[in-house]
């Protein structure tokens, strides 16, 4: 249609030209018309080609813009400015979700410790496979200054009769000031070095005789408030005020457990590289709380267990076939006995070698008694594969060991290997005249010492296998299940994974 219109216009122009220039011949006009028609046709073809090129360029530009929008990856700075606050995920030290602004994060953690134990005399305790710990929990950080942690224990009771679920951690932290953080809820009141460390990372499968002696003598989970932090480089402290009644127990009387710990790494001030020179001191004071065991009513029984059984509770409810209890006092009244504890600790490392030791003393004064318990341990460990202990020390404790090469058959990686030797001593000879009365089936001693040899294979930062041999000597022979012996030998193994 457009072509016909142009043609009519040209013809009109030509007609006008004919009237004004009559001298032009018909043949010349016809030739001129054909020439103009050819020119018009050429112009139309050029315009069509330009339209096609424009269309192709438009499509190509749209494709490039789409590819650019799909391939562009926002930086951390871009994410922090994002109004939509995208959720990011990672698997470092647990399963972690966080937003791009840093306002909140959520971390899920868990552990499984599957153990095997074989003891001699066999009459004292059955050889068994057991789940030492099975835990799952989470930590929620919000508004940059606050943290909430909740963790549950899902392992069975010792006799396997029923499943149990118990709260281990349940607390709120305010951490605006790194040197003065505040924690309230249920947590570990930090006393000493071995108890302060996670059971995921202890040097041996079980705690020493000095620290695995029950809630009355030593710290366990408790409820209250704690001030803690690192005000100076290499200095870590905590001060707590808790019920003193142990895990998942509210206060049963007005007395509270008040205590604290200060630790310093002198290597930070002596410019000693690749080393830790750790020294620390702890102390606490409280009124002995009412026992949680129904059979003891309003009185308390002090108890001690060997390193082979993994029992750290002071209750007498456990059957002797599952726990080697070598020390057990007669009951004494709660509310009138003051317990004072003190502790000294050290850890010295140089490269792949570490020495660690603690001394802990406790005095029980009141209700006609004034008696002491003294306990200590010393151990030496060596990372055969060359990792440095200094790399795993932070805030006054040793944490997760990361092998130089994780276990991987395809890449010939074998993880890390650690060997260790420990000696520990428990002395409650002051309580000798208060030992639970002897009987044909059970009697106890007030002193014991133990040698523990251990090998640890750390496949990667989250998985490890442990093998321990424990030889325990008793000051006087003890009787359990009508079997008398002056010593116990045990082989224990553990397969562990945590995240």
Evaluate whether residue 231 is within a structural domain.
Answer: yes
Q: Are 436 and 328 in contact (CB under 8 A)?
A: yes
Residues 141 and 191 in one domain: yes
User: What's the domain range around 347?
Assistant: 109-498
- Whether residue 445 is predicted with pLDDT greater than 60 in this model: the reply is yes
Give the mean model confidence (pLDDT) for residues 61-82: 59
Residues 146 and 15 in one domain: no
Evaluate whether residue 94 is within a structural domain.
Answer: no
**Token reading at 174:** 């305010």
- Whether residue 57 is predicted with pLDDT greater than 50 in this model: the reply is yes
> What is the number of residues in the chain?
499
Residues 222 and 349 in one domain: yes
- Whether residue 22 is predicted with pLDDT greater than 50 in this model: the reply is no
Domain finish residue from 71, 96, 117: 71
- Compute the chain's Rg from CA coordinates: 39
Evaluate whether residue 104 is within a structural domain.
Answer: no
Tell me the per-residue pLDDT of 126-144, one tens digit each, with 9 for 90 and over: 788 888 899 999 999 998 8
Give the mean model confidence (pLDDT) for residues 91-108: 80
Using CA atoms, how far residue 3 sits from 9, 32, 45, 378, in Å, is 10, 17, 12, 105
Q: Which pLDDT belongs to residue 225?
A: 97
Residues 65 and 195 in one domain: no
Q: Which pLDDT belongs to residue 323?
A: 59
Residues 410 and 288 in one domain: yes
Q: Which pLDDT belongs to residue 291?
A: 54
Q: Which pLDDT belongs to residue 20?
A: 47
Residues 140 and 56 in one domain: no
Domain count, the chain: 2
Structure pTM? Answer: 0.77
Domain finish residue from 49, 71, 93: 71
- Whether residue 30 is predicted with pLDDT greater than 60 in this model: the reply is yes
Tell me the per-residue pLDDT of 299-341, one tens digit each, with 9 for 90 and over: 677 888 888 876 543 333 333 345 588 888 877 776 678 899 9
CATH code for position 120: 2.40.160.10
- Nearest in space to 416 (alpha carbons), one of 405, 426, 408: 405
Residues 37 and 166 in one domain: no
Evaluate whether residue 82 is within a structural domain.
Answer: no
Q: Which pLDDT belongs to residue 316?
A: 32
Q: Which pLDDT belongs to residue 86?
A: 74
Q: Are 343 and 281 in contact (CB under 8 A)?
A: yes
Evaluate whether residue 93 is within a structural domain.
Answer: no
Residues 62 and 118 in one domain: no
Which residues lie closer than 8 Å to 225 by C-beta, 6 or more apart? 182, 183, 184, 240, 241, 242
Which segment of 131-140, 212-221, 251-260 scores lowest on mean pLDDT?
Answer: 212-221
Using CA atoms, how far residue 192 sits from 358, 363, 381, 417, 497, in Å, is 7, 17, 19, 26, 25
Give the mean model confidence (pLDDT) for residues 167-176: 95
Tell me the per-residue pLDDT of 268-289, one tens digit each, with 9 for 90 and over: 999 899 999 999 999 999 887 6
Q: Count CB neighbours of 181 within 10 A.
A: 18
Q: Which helix (H) or strand (E) holds 236?
A: strand 235-242
Residues 61 and 116 in one domain: no
Residues 249 and 341 in one domain: yes
Q: Which pLDDT belongs to residue 362?
A: 93
Give the mean model confidence (pLDDT) for residues 202-217: 84
Evaluate whether residue 401 is within a structural domain.
Answer: yes
Q: Let me know the angle formed at the C-alpha of 216 by 212 and 221, rounded to the nearest 5 degrees.
A: 70
Evaluate whether residue 101 is within a structural domain.
Answer: no
Peptide linkage before 121 cis (omega within 30 of 0): yes
Which residues lie closer than 8 Å to 254 by C-beta, 6 or more apart? none
- Nearest in space to 149 (alpha carbons), one of 160, 159, 139, 134: 139
- Nearest in space to 129 (alpha carbons), one of 148, 115, 143: 115
Percent of the chain with pLDDT strictly greater than 90: 49
Which residues lie closer than 8 Å to 123 by C-beta, 6 or more apart? 480, 481, 482, 483
Percent of the chain with pLDDT strictly greater than 70: 80
Residues 147 and 246 in one domain: yes
Give the mean model confidence (pLDDT) for residues 44-58: 78
Evaluate whether residue 77 is within a structural domain.
Answer: no
Q: Which pLDDT belongs to residue 491?
A: 96
Q: Are 250 and 223 in contact (CB under 8 A)?
A: yes
- Whether residue 344 is predicted with pLDDT greater than 80 in this model: the reply is yes
How high does pLDDT run on average in the chain?
83
Q: Which pLDDT belongs to residue 317?
A: 30
Residues 373 and 427 in one domain: yes
């Amino acid at each position: 249609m457009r072509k016909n219109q142009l043609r009519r216009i040209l013809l009109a122009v030509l007609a006008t030209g004919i009237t004004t220039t009559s001298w032009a011949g018909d043949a010349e006009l016809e030739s001129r018309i054909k020439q103009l028609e050819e020119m018009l046709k050429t112009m139309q073809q050029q315009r069509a080609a330009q339209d096609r090129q424009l269309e192709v360029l438009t499509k190509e530009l749209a494709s490039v813009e789409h590819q650019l929008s799909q391939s562009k990856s926002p930086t951390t700075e871009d994410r922090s400015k994002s109004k939509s606050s995208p959720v990011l995920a990672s698997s470092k030290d647990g399963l972690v979700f966080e937003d791009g602004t840093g306002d909140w994060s959520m971390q899920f953690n868990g552990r499984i410790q599957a153990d095997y134990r074989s003891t001699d005399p066999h009459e004292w305790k059955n050889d068994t496979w057991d789940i030492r710990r099975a835990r799952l929990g989470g930590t929620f950080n919000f508004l940059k200054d606050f943290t909430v942690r909740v963790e549950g224990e899902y392992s069975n009771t010792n006799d396997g009769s029923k499943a149990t679920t118990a709260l281990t951690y349940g607390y709120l932290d305010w951490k605006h000031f790194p040197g003065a953080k505040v924690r309230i809820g249920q947590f570990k009141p930090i006393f000493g070095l071995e108890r302060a460390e996670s059971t995921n990372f202890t040097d041996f499968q079980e705690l020493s005789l000095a620290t695995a002696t029950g809630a009355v003598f030593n710290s366990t989970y408790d409820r209250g408030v704690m001030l803690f932090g690192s005000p100076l480089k290499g200095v870590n402290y905590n001060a707590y005020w808790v019920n003193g009644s142990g895990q998942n127990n509210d206060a049963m009387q007005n007395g509270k457990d008040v205590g604290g710990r200060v630790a310093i790494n002198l290597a930070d001030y002596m410019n000693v590289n690749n080393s830790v020179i750790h020294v620390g001191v702890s102390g606490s004071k409280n009124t002995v709380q009412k026992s949680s065991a129904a059979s003891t009513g309003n009185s308390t029984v002090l108890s001690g267990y060997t390193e082979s059984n993994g029992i750290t509770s002071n209750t007498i409810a456990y059957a002797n076939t599952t726990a080697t209890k070598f020390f057990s006092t007669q009951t004494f009244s709660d509310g009138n006995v003051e317990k004072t504890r003190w502790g000294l600790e050290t850890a010295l490392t140089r490269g792949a070698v570490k020495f660690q030791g603690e001394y802990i003393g406790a005095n029980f004064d009141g209700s006609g008694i004034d008696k002491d318990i003294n306990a200590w341990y010393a151990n030496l460990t060596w990372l055969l594969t060359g990792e440095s202990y200094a790399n795993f020390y932070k805030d006054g404790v040793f944490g997760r060991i990361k092998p130089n090469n994780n276990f991987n058959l395809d890449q010939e990686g074998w993880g890390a290997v650690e060997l260790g030797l420990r000696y520990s001593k428990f002395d409650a000879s002051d309580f000798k005249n208060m030992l639970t009365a002897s009987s044909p089936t059970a009697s106890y001693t007030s002193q014991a010492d133990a040698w523990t040899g251990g090998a640890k294979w750390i496949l990667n930062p989250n998985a490890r296998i442990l093998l321990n041999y424990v030889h325990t000597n008793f000051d006087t022979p003890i009787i359990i299940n009508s079997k008398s012996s002056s010593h116990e030998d045990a082989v224990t193994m553990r397969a562990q994974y945590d995240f």
